[in-house]
Structure 1
């Protein structure tokens, strides 16, 4: 007797040190080679933004690129801004990350780098945020009752304010004097990392900036541009510029021209392309062994349904991972679903990921309302999909959408005596569809056959999805 296959989880993409593109299913090598040529052609410092939406593979991309640069003997540093935004000062975090990477150096380079870093620490004091311990002590005294007289508190506050102003002015003057020395030491440190090769910049990758606290994200940009703007240093930001814009507006107001603001800090933008949106889902099916398992359940090519759904709802890479995690558990723990119900399964998983409010509204007392909203949601996605003109190789004459609509319509059949043709007529009139749509629905009847879903079918599928999400599986970082 064959042993049952164990559940698999999607692992983080492994970056092979010798061949960073060994496990690249999105054909990123050409992008990396072009960008490497671009950044190494500049003698001055530049800030390059790799712009892509949430879950579109930015982290995997820059880690592949980082390893590729290492193999070219170009020094790199990876700085996860989101993991560091618990600190109060972005400059401390940036210099600290550079300091940690010194361990990768050897011999004289390491000795020189450590001395330069020590010098940088001393100079950086003039650019870090000033503490105000005296004010803190004053507040503590006031709270504890040591300063009971209002005039005394007022006088002490006035003297302290004057002292703080003088302190800040002095600190500003010192920072202006030491700025040149700071940049010179930083440039020397970069050359040290590049083994003295002036044609090899130090590339600092900044990831997850769009997930940071708004103030911290802005501070990272400011420090990168103003203090690290020296020869031999290139910054690569991996971020969703739209989300970053929301963070900036949260600080400066909704009326801010975000693009104009970001142009002060970002020299070049590179929109990370999705070269083949189905390569990734094919690789996930292979990792999960889903094709093999699904063929043992049904001869119908479920992967085509999934690809159609991905195209229709424009699932990000991370959403595709989440989809496959759920699908993998559901199909391996429920062997009673028939072929038509996999269409409903795919739809409900997508609604859970993209439209959770609609998904959560599914219950036996909300049957008609849910089906109506689900049908309108499907058609709105279809309209946007056609307008966007995707290059989709699964032709629409396959009638996946119409078949799914028919399954949903059987859930709210007005009366058992209603024929499928009568249901289609009612649907076309109610939603004001044209005759072309009606003919597609009629042609899809041959696929539907005698199958009829009901609200309990949907609820069983939803229950299977909810059980699957109680499993704690680590998703791959993209």
Structure 2
């Protein structure tokens, strides 16, 4: 599953830097379903299993939220349950001039033998006038064609379209007769296609494949598809325009970052590595750091509203840092967790911070603003954990300066350097219950960091050298 093992001293396996996407297990497609996506697939199956009328569904999810994982495994699960189900990655075929060719090609490839295979091949043969007409049209100028030619061409294409629909109807009816289920066509990655290809594919499905006993399921990032269409077709209401193609729309729920991070930690081998380091060095520091990372990183990822793909990249950076870890050294979990997230969500701010041009307060302000715009926006159930992270980054940035400002706030005195504190903390007066709790947590956190045997004040420069290519121009 992971890259080839990297052996450290003592036979310890270093964490992997990449986890290869596992192939779908034909017999048990959901065996690696760590995010419990099978429940969503089961609901989709309930929606389509008795569907006889033409039906088109969209499954909307941001990039990196696991749509492809769900759709590929659902398709295999449907096949195992006796469905004729086809999975088609539209992005891989958007080089075709006409999506009709791609869809029919998928049909003929799916059916391997028997009457259904013959019917699929025949549909391809029937579609030739449309496909070749499109190719010829590209090489002929409109003025070279007489009105008679244009009318004849239109009639030919109309007749061909009707014959394709009739033959598709017969094929789907045979699928229903043999399996007592509809023919299911799953089309993924539509939003990544050329806008013209995406629209033509939807139009082909709407006007040609709109026949009984065929269900289409589209995996899309709706927001990105809308942007793509508007960039080409101008000031159209692309959202309303898209809705006319779908009979039902579903939104893929966001994954639980704690569960997903736990899965990634095991997949990259971080858990066994840190616990192995503790065993080899006869010290609990590494096991404790892994537990701290396991608690801290999901809290920050959830607050920032990151996709599964971005979460994977964050854990990959943690693996990169761990690969260089020496026994009884530290990866400063609170600081590392925040740095890797800021690195991928705001590279410019990350660069400024690691070179000493931005403060910890700016980092925390960014995280809070990101939570308001990209996260849930709801109050954090893990507020204390986040305040501990804030204390860590404050300590690493300007231990004495921040401590002085927190003391002034606690005592109800004016701040002398308010820019050292984030906006939320700066507005606290030290009197109300909420202010006392947060200020107390920040001060307690900074006191804890000061008691540690490792040098948290030099943690930023140290960590940047582990997760980046920097050798100079970073904080020491």
TM bracket (short chain): 0.7 to 0.9
Gaps of 5+ in 2: 1-8, 279-285, 430-434, 471-476
What do the CA deviations read for 1:3-56 (whole angstroms, capped 9, x no partner)? 131443423244332322222111122222221111122211111011111100
Residue 227 of structure 1, aligned match among 208, 219, 222? 208
Are 1:126 and 1:171, in contact at CA under 8 Å, matched by a contact in 2? no
What do the CA deviations read for 1:290-325 (whole angstroms, capped 9, x no partner)? 123234225242211111111221221111212222
2:334 alignment counterpart: 343
2:387 alignment counterpart: 399
2:466 alignment counterpart: 464
Are 1:204 and 1:235, in contact at CA under 8 Å, matched by a contact in 2? yes
Are 2:165 and 2:209, in contact at CA under 8 Å, matched by a contact in 1? yes
Determine the C-alpha separation between the residues in 2 that align with 1:164 and 1:370: 72
SS at match of 2:358: helix
1:446 alignment counterpart: 447
The alignment status of 1:333 with 2:314, answered yes or no, reads no
Determine the C-alpha separation between the residues in 1 that align with 2:128 and 2:57: 28
Determine the C-alpha separation between the residues in 2 that align with 1:236 and 1:135: 31
2:193 alignment counterpart: 212
- Pick 1 or 2: higher relative contact order, CA cutoff 8 A, min separation 6: 1
1:258-337 equivalences under 5 Å are 258-274=238-254, 276-295=256-275, 296=278, 297-300=286-289, 301=291, 302-335=293-326
Residue 345 of structure 2, aligned match among 351, 354, 358? 354
Tell me by how many angstroms 1:282 deviates: 1.1
Are 2:335 and 2:459, in contact at CA under 8 Å, matched by a contact in 1? no
Are 1:206 and 1:237, in contact at CA under 8 Å, matched by a contact in 2? yes
1:14-163 equivalences under 5 Å are 14-103=23-112, 110-128=113-131, 130-131=133-134, 161-163=143-145
What do the CA deviations read for 1:209-236 (whole angstroms, capped 9, x no partner)? 1111111111111111111111121111
After superposition, the Cα gap between the structure-2 partners of 1:391 and 1:371, relative to the gap in structure 1 and judged at 3 Å, is closer
Tell me by how many angstroms 1:442 deviates: 2.3
Are 2:65 and 2:255, in contact at CA under 8 Å, matched by a contact in 1? no
Determine the C-alpha separation between the residues in 2 that align with 1:124 and 1:260: 30
Tell me by how many angstroms 1:362 deviates: 4.4
Are 1:54 and 1:240, in contact at CA under 8 Å, matched by a contact in 2? yes
Determine the C-alpha separation between the residues in 2 that align with 1:164 and 1:410: 80
SS at match of 2:24: coil
SS at match of 2:127: helix
After superposition, the Cα gap between the structure-2 partners of 1:419 and 1:135, relative to the gap in structure 1 and judged at 3 Å, is closer
1:376 alignment counterpart: 365
What do the CA deviations read for 1:46-89 (whole angstroms, capped 9, x no partner)? 11011111100000101121111111100011110100011111
TM-score by length of 1: 0.81
Are 1:75 and 1:194, in contact at CA under 8 Å, matched by a contact in 2? no
What do the CA deviations read for 1:335-354 (whole angstroms, capped 9, x no partner)? 37955733222222112222
Moved more, 49-58 or 282-291: 282-291
Residue 219 of structure 2, aligned match among 224, 238, 242? 238
The alignment status of 1:180 with 2:180, answered yes or no, reads no
What do the CA deviations read for 1:448-467 (whole angstroms, capped 9, x no partner)? 2257655x642442232135
Determine the C-alpha separation between the residues in 2 that align with 1:385 and 1:218: 29
SS at match of 1:299: helix
Determine the C-alpha separation between the residues in 2 that align with 1:466 and 1:56: 26
Residue 153 of structure 2, aligned match among 171, 176, 182? 171
After superposition, the Cα gap between the structure-2 partners of 1:120 and 1:81, relative to the gap in structure 1 and judged at 3 Å, is same
Determine the C-alpha separation between the residues in 2 that align with 1:299 and 1:99: 56
Are 1:85 and 1:216, in contact at CA under 8 Å, matched by a contact in 2? yes
Are 1:74 and 1:194, in contact at CA under 8 Å, matched by a contact in 2? no
2:432 alignment counterpart: none
After superposition, the Cα gap between the structure-2 partners of 1:387 and 1:307, relative to the gap in structure 1 and judged at 3 Å, is closer
1:11 alignment counterpart: 20
After superposition, the Cα gap between the structure-2 partners of 1:423 and 1:341, relative to the gap in structure 1 and judged at 3 Å, is farther
Moved more, 420-429 or 339-348: 420-429
